[in-house]
Structure formats: C-alpha cells, structure tokens
Amino acid sequence: MRRLVHAAGSLPLLLLTLVRPASAVSISPIALYIDSRTRVGTLNLWNDGTRPEEIDIAFAYGYVVSDSLGNWQVPLIRNPDSIPPAEPSAVAWLRAFPRRFVLQPGQRQIVRVLVRPPANLPEGEYWARVIVRSRGGQPPIEGEQQGVRFSIEVAIENVIALSYRHGRVWTSVDLAGVQTRMRGDTLRVLVDLTRGGNAAFIGRVLAEVLDPRGRILARQEVPVSVYRSPFRTRVDFPLGIDARRAARLRIRVDNNRTDIPPEGPLPVAAVVREIALTPSAQGP
C-alpha cells in the first residue's frame, strides 16, 4: 500500500515540505484479490483519530515498474479514457459501495468493491489501484505571508493494489540475471526477473552472502511484484565484515509473502541460484 499527501491551496513549497501529516484512517487488507466466482472484495476502514474523516473511494490503473538501478514506482493513470486498450485494466468494471462517507472517530466502515466484467472476457488477471482519499483528520494549515492569509486543507491518499482473476490464472518466475559490486563493506546486488503465465508474480527475493564454508554471513529479503518483464530489484548488504570472507551469493526467488492476504501469491516453482563473488566484483 502506498500513501500520498496532497495539499489544496496556495502555500510556499518550502513550507509544504516541512509539513508531514499522518492519516488516522487504517485500512485492511493492503491488497485486494478478487476472483470471477465472487466478483466482490472487501475493505475495512477504521478511524483511530480524534477528528472526523471525509472518505472518497476512486480507482486508477497502474502497477509496479522498475528502473536500471532497481528503484520502484507505481505510475497511476487516473483518467480511464487514457488507459491504453491493450493494457489488462479492470478500472472500468469497478464500483465501490459506499463510495463517499464520513468516518467518525472510532468508527469502522466496510467498503465493498464490486467487479462487473464484460461478457466473453479472456482468462487472466486484470489490474487496478484503489485510491482511498481521506481529509479532515488533520486541522487546516493556516498562516500569513506578505500580508496574505492562507488556509491549506491536507488530503491523504492510500493506494491499494487490486487484481481481478478471471478463470484459470497462473504465473511463473525466472532469474534472468544477477549483477554484484562491492564497495567498501557494502555489497550491491541487482536481480533481474522475468515472469510467465497470465498473472503477476507476487513473491520475494531472498539473498544470502556465504563464506567459503557455506555459512551465512548476511541475509536480506525484498518483497517483489513482477507485473511486466523484465523487472529489476536491488538488494544492498551493509556487511560490516571483512569483504574477503564473502565467497558466494545465494539468491532464492519464491512466493513466500506474509504481508499480504494468503490468496495473493499464486503457486510457483522457486528459483535458486548461487554465484561466486569474485575479486573483480568487489570494485575499488
């Protein structure tokens, strides 16, 4: 789940960057997986703050993409008319009930997301993002600059992944490549993944640095969601040890995720690979 902060009003950029409001609305689960049998998903919202929150539910299209350095982002297309026809978008089929409401302090609310797909839909997985926008939980930001008074209303957006699975869905994952470079006592690992099937791969990359005897010197785990291939992720190891003891790197890619609903990760064969950490990979 991703959280975005928006401010409506005229406020100097410098001041805005110093304001870090927190939403009092808790949302679960952090991802929705809806199948063609039920065509409905459920979100649970809870206002654990002291002020009423105005809630608005919307939908957008987007999925995780990566760059050459292994950084991730989720570009969002909010206008349904701007979504390319070839994209597996579920946005046009989604409805939220209720869509707008006020959540009082301590109050809980169930939001049902209904999917109304077209007839003769091909089997596969279709994607969207649920945007839960809340405002009112933080008092307005008020001030004066150059004799002009201003009042800024802050809104928080929580962005939740949604997958609609129609018919038989399956996925696979392959380790397309691994690059390593060691600088000082930090090992940087770039892992390139590809996926097969008609659905996203939801899982993790487990990376372990081994000494010459196979003992684990360091371990890092990174959650990954591979919607499109190729996908690159990054694992950084602040080893804190003599780099000469790092002999091998073991990479395991599997669907072991405990942070999302159990129906999220699809069955997949794990991929394990070991590579030698050669002096040329250690860098200066």
Mean pLDDT over residues 23-33, rounded? 90
- pLDDT at residue number 194: 97
Same domain for 20 and 64? yes
- pLDDT at residue number 9: 45
Return left, alpha or beta for 262; rule: phi > 0 is left, psi -120 to 50 is alpha, else beta.
alpha
The confidence band for 230, taking pLDDT boundaries of 50, 70 and 90, is: very high
- CA-CA distance, 167 to 121, in Å (whole number)? 9
Residue ending a domain, choose from 135, 166, 197: 166
- In the DSSP assignment, the letter for residue 243 is G
Residue ending a domain, choose from 166, 189, 204: 166
Output the DSSP codes for 164-217.
Answer: EEESS--EEEEEEEEEEEEETTEEEEEEEEEEEETS-EEEEEEEEEE-TTS-EE
Query: Range of 257's domain?
Result: 171-281
Mean pLDDT over residues 26-40, rounded? 96
- pLDDT at residue number 284: 40
Same domain for 13 and 129? yes
- pLDDT at residue number 280: 47
Same domain for 42 and 144? yes
Mean pLDDT over residues 156-168, rounded? 96
Q: Is 84 exposed, middle or buried (0-12, 13-18, 19+ CB in 10 A)?
A: exposed
Query: Would you say the C-alpha torsion 84, 85, 91, 92 has a positive or negative sign?
Result: positive
What are the φ/ψ torsions at residue 193 (nearest 5 degrees)?
-120, 150
The confidence band for 65, taking pLDDT boundaries of 50, 70 and 90, is: very high
Same domain for 136 and 202? no
Q: Is 140 exposed, middle or buried (0-12, 13-18, 19+ CB in 10 A)?
A: middle
- 71-74-75 Cα angle (round to 5): 115
Same domain for 154 and 180? no
CATH number at residue 196: 2.60.40.10
Mean pLDDT over residues 78-107, rounded? 96
**Rounded mean pLDDT of the chain?**
87
Better pLDDT: 15 or 257:
257
- pLDDT at residue number 282: 46
The answer to whether the beta carbons of residues 74 and 31 sit under 8 Å apart is no
The confidence band for 33, taking pLDDT boundaries of 50, 70 and 90, is: very high
Q: Is 272 exposed, middle or buried (0-12, 13-18, 19+ CB in 10 A)?
A: exposed
The answer to whether the beta carbons of residues 129 and 161 sit under 8 Å apart is yes
The confidence band for 179, taking pLDDT boundaries of 50, 70 and 90, is: very high
Task: Report residue 264 as tokens.
Answer: 């999220």
Same domain for 154 and 252? no
Residue pLDDT, tens place only, 182-209: 776 778 999 999 999 999 999 999 999 9
Give strand pairing partners of 177.
Answer: 192
Same domain for 110 and 186? no
Among candidate residues 53, 176, 199, the one with its CA nearest the CA of residue 123: 199
- CA-CA distance, 14 to 134, in Å (whole number)? 24
Output the DSSP codes for 116-145.
Answer: -PPTTPPSEEEEEEEEEEEESSSPPEEEEE
Task: Report residue 209 as tokens.
Answer: 């640095």
3 has pLDDT over 70: no
Please state the domain count of the chain.
2
Same domain for 175 and 132? no
Residue ending a domain, choose from 116, 131, 166: 166
150 has pLDDT over 70: no
Residue pLDDT, tens place only, 98-142: 999 999 999 999 999 999 999 999 999 999 999 999 987 666 666
Same domain for 114 and 254? no
Q: Measured in whole angstroms, how far is the alpha carbon of residue 264 from the centre of its chain?
A: 13
Same domain for 181 and 157? no
- pLDDT at residue number 182: 73
Same domain for 161 and 177? no
pTM of the predicted model as reported, rounded to 2 decimal places: 0.85
Cα dist from 20 to 91, 145, 156, whole Å: 30, 20, 11
Task: Report residue 157 as tokens.
Answer: 């957006």
Same domain for 177 and 96? no
